Amino acid sequence: MSSTPQGARARARIEVTAAIKDEARRQLAAEGAAKLSLRAVARELGMVSSALYRYFPSRDELLTALIIDAYNSLGEAAEAAHDAVADAGHVRRWIAVCEAVRAWALGHPHEYALIYGSPVPGYTAPQTTVPAAARVGLLLIAIVRDAHQGPGLTNSPLPADLHPEADRMTADLAPDLPPEAVTALVASWAQLYGLVGFELFGQFNRVVEDREPFFRHAVERLAHGVGLK
């Protein structure tokens, strides 16, 4: 009986795959997705570039792996920040998640750009990324749900032409919540990334200087907008 369940080869494959991703992530963090080079990764790992194709069939596949990891890293950061204030009020929890997203983005700008910036060259995200991408959204939904089951939500009514879509979204995302809240939640979710992206991509340069209080206030208003109080 062997101590390496699937054999040494399978074990090595896992390690090499991880090493490739690590080195790729290093280059991504250092230079951005566009300058991520398979040949450079292979060179740094002491292997020849063609050998790398045994692990990732193309550059896009490597990027996809990095994208999923980035979504999960962001999701974990947001979840950790939320859990740290799980006892606090719903607005405070909402703010904590938003600030965690911003902090993660500022700490991993190229990875953030990879997942929330413009998609890389002709690249379209495969279905595989969906579960990881949803983590932050699910967190926000959970906060709003807690508030709904606790102190309740205060939402303004929706226009008539939005009722069908609002009901559809609600059925898909959170059937137990009022459509007004779900609609506001989805919009706030997108708006959060507008705030983060503008800061990260330099649109706030020479416009907003002291960004923490600005961001905090903005996401607090988002929280009120979804009905939290």
Partner DNA sequence: CTAAAAAGAGAGCACTGCTCTTGCTTTGGA
Partner DNA sequence: TCCAAAGCAAGAGCAGTGCTCTCTTTTTAG
Kindly state whether residue 195 participates in binding a second copy, applying the rule CB under 8 A.
yes
**Looking up tokens 């990324």, which residue turns up?**
129
Name residues whose C-beta falls within 8 Å of residue 184's C-beta, 6 or more positions apart in sequence: 155, 225, 226, 227
Q: Is residue 154 close enough to count as binding a second copy by CB under 8 A?
A: no
Question: How many residues line the site for DNA (CB under 7 A)?
Answer: 25
Query: Token digits for 67?
Result: 């994208």
CA atoms of 41 and 50, how far apart (whole Å)? 11
Shortest gap between Cβ of 5 and DNA (angstroms)? 10
Rounded to a whole number of angstroms, the CA Rg of the chain reads: 21
The candidate with the shortest Cα–Cα distance to 59, out of 42, 46, 81, is: 42
Site string for DNA, 52-81 (x = CB under 7 A): -xxx-xxxx---------------------
The partner in contact with residue 106, picked from a second copy, DNA, none with C-beta cut-offs of 5 to 8 angstroms by kind, is none
39 binds, among DNA, a second copy, none (CB under 5 to 8 A by kind): DNA
Site size with a second copy, rule: CB under 8 A:
57
Using CB under 8 A, which of 18, 164, 171, 229 touches a second copy?
A: 164
Task: Name the phi and psi angles at 180, rounded to 5.
Answer: -60, -40
Q: Which of 21, 90 has the CB closer to DNA?
A: 21
133 binds a second copy (CB under 8 A): yes
Give the residue, chosen from 22, 26, 30, 39, that forms a contact with DNA under the rule CB under 7 A: 39
Distance CA 149, CA 138 (A): 16
Nearer to a second copy, 16 or 89 (CB): 89
CA triplet 122, 123, 129: central angle to 5 degrees? 165
Tell me if 111 sits within 8 A of 70, measured CB to CB: yes
In the chain, what's the furthest Cα-to-Cα distance? Answer: 69
Q: What are phi and psi of 71, to 5 degrees?
A: -55, -45
Among 120, 140, 144, 147, binds a second copy (CB under 8 A): 120
- Among DNA, a second copy, none, residue 29 binds (CB under 5-8 Å by kind): none
From the list a second copy, DNA, none, partner contacted by residue 209 (C-beta under 5 to 8 A by kind): a second copy
Residue showing tokens 């508030």: 147
- Applying CB under 8 A, the residues found at the interface with a second copy are 31-32, 34-35, 113-114, 116-122, 124-125, 130, 133, 156, 158-159, 161-162, 164-165, 168-169, 172-173, 183-184, 186-187, 189-195, 197-199, 201-204, 206-210, 213-214, 217-218, 221, 225
